[in-house]
Amino acid sequence: MTAVTASKTSGTVEDLRSPRAAAWKNAAEVKLPLQPTPLDAQPSAYVQKAWANRERGNVPSVAVRALSVGDQLVLRLEWAAPDPRRLINDNDVYADACAVIFPSNGKDAELSTMGSPERPVTTWYWRAGAPGPFLATATGLGTVSRAAKHGLQATGEWQAGFWNVVIAGPAKSTRIGVAVWSGVSGERAGLKSHTPAWHDLKVG
């Protein structure tokens, strides 16, 4: 399984906030394949039925670059979004979003169900047009609970068919998963593309 390695870099998180910052050019890129979250795991018969014949989970992969500055892990996620949704501006409009996920206890947890009561996951969530990123924990699909304080920073830019999101927060070496929501496909909640398994995360 491909590992995500965040090599140490000098400077500040601020220097890396722009996805086009010079430092990103030298950071190694790994491409993580994504797959749709299983429909039978969705905690609502309505969602299972309504999405049985709908396209979903069709973002094939996400390109990840990682750097570390002090105790901060800074990630840059890049994925294809030919028809972006940058803002929720109608009843039936859903915004593009992404999240990085870590096992809360540092070792193991079920990734495709967003953890379980015994093995929670921690997630950093970014959504286009939303006021800042969210730090949250989850113990299964439908249980995501956002923290009031988060200490995270994020910037998202869409350009020429791709989202580039830089998200930074305190992290040590652990395992990591990534999820992406495609707004144009109406994805939200447990309807998303995600890495099928954990990847090792090495923070330098």
Is 196 a binding residue for other proteins by CB under 8 A? The answer is: no
Is 20 a binding residue for other proteins by CB under 8 A? The answer is: no
Over the window 45 to 74, marking each residue x when it contacts other proteins by CB under 8 A and - when it does not, the resulting string is xxx-xx------------------------
With CB under 8 A, what is the number of residues at the site for other proteins? 22
Binding window for other proteins (CB under 8 A); candidates: 29-37, 149-157, 162-170, 184-192: 184-192
Write out the binding residues for other proteins, residues 87-116 only, by CB under 8 A: 88-93
Residue for token digits 């994805």? 187
Q: What does the alpha-carbon distance between residue 54 and residue 56 come to, in Å, rounded to a whole number?
A: 6
Q: What does the alpha-carbon distance between residue 20 and residue 69 come to, in Å, rounded to a whole number?
A: 17
Is 36 a binding residue for other proteins by CB under 8 A? The answer is: no
Query: Which DSSP string corresponds to 39-107?
Result: GGGSS-HHHHHHTTTS------EEEEEEEEETTEEEEEEEEE-SS---S--STT----EEEEEEETTSS
Contact in structure between 157 and 129 (CB atoms under 8 Å) = no
Binding window for other proteins (CB under 8 A); candidates: 1-9, 38-46, 55-63, 170-178: 38-46
**Which pair of structure tokens corresponds to residue 61?**
């992969």
Binding window for other proteins (CB under 8 A); candidates: 11-19, 27-35, 140-148, 164-172: 140-148
State the residues that interact with other proteins by CB under 8 A.
42-47, 49-50, 88-93, 130, 141-144, 188-190
